[in-house]
Amino acid sequence: SSASYELADTVSTALQRPGSETSTLTATGFLNPLKVLLALRHMSLVEIDPLLNETMLAYYRYCIGKTLEQPGSPFSQRAYMESPDPIAVMTDIAIVQNWMTVEYTDGAPEGVAQACHDVAANIQLRMAALTAGLDDRIEIWTSRAMGTDQYNQGYELGDINDAVDNLFRGGMDSQNFMANLMLANMHNAGEAWRVAEYGTDKSQYVATLTEAMEDQKVEVAAQGSMFLQTMFPLMGFFQFLFFALPPLIVLVMIAAPMAASRILGFYLLFGVWAYGWVPIAAVINHYIQIAIQNDIQFARAGLVGSGYTAIIGFDSLYNVVSTRLTIGANALASVPIILGAILSGTPF
């Protein structure tokens, strides 16, 4: 098993290339960055920092909302939704008029009336402190809501930083990613409320279809994760058989001397098969991550605004992540068959 592990580690290292590094199977597990991003999908500001959430809702209503009501408003909702940094757009005092709003803080949870421009600066500071992990709010949420990795270790802020840096090839800061995601989820929650209040048959159909597709992807990904958890015990069992069978193999060879070389060859082939699962899984792990890196880097601007981390781009991002994770999980579950086909030179 140590030889298999070392071979997988060597394969993972050999596949790395500057600018497109991937997490290795032996270090972080199978497709760990994708699982981290998928676990982040429902990251909610109202759960992590409800007072900042209330402040931003009030700011959007009384500052941005009032600005949008003015003739020739300088605030563009479209530019805001397509921006790679929507927090910067919504707090830009050059395009948001200085009305009055309410800010909610730990010192004044009941809210204090403030000028919009003052609250805009405070929103930037509070969001930056939150996503930087200056307190334990993010860590508490990750341990409660994100679950554990395949080694039963809870996810931490460092896992989020590594996953974002990995999949975006260093082109996205994890603080910016989390801030954008929480803002996008605020808008999605508002849309969900609107549909619930004024819903149409079409809206219900789309929501039901989307939920069914996501459930299917999660189920298949779970099957792949389950196989990964049983892969090493199964490998150990087959490797034990490989070392336990020589006396029987010798007896069979003696009983059928004309087929002895063929029997020995198949026996050795079985040993290679038993030791080869992890290296093949390492190749799949690398390929899926490279594929999603390319998907993110070459996203169509017309579909996702300025990128997958614009407010209008997150749904497309998570469709890509869940689809790739499903493909990877299916491929992982097929590792024994794939390796058998490679060694035997047949499709079965």
Beta-carbon contacts of 169 under 8 Å, excluding residues fewer than 6 positions away, are 19, 20, 293, 296, 297
pLDDT of residue 205: 40
Euclidean distance between CA atoms 183 and 56, whole angstroms: 9
Euclidean distance between CA atoms 183 and 87, whole angstroms: 8
Q: Which amino acid is at 200?
A: T
Torsion, Cα 8 13 17 19, to 10 degrees, reads 100
| Residue 15: C-alpha distances to residues 203, 275, 321 (Å) | 44, 20, 21
Residue-by-residue pLDDT tens, the chain, 348 positions = 566 667 767 766 766 766 667 777 655 666 778 888 888 888 889 999 999 999 999 999 899 989 988 888 899 988 888 888 999 999 999 999 999 999 999 999 999 999 999 999 999 999 999 999 888 898 888 888 777 666 667 778 888 888 888 888 767 888 999 999 999 888 876 554 444 433 444 444 444 445 555 555 555 555 555 666 666 677 778 878 888 888 888 888 888 888 888 888 888 888 888 888 888 888 888 888 888 888 888 776 655 556 788 888 888 888 888 888 888 878 887 888 888 888 877 765
| Residue 189: C-alpha distances to residues 38, 229, 293 (Å) | 18, 35, 28
pLDDT of residue 151: 61
pTM score of the predicted model = 0.76
pLDDT of residue 120: 97
Q: Which of 49, 68, 66, 48 is nearest to 58 (CA)?
A: 66
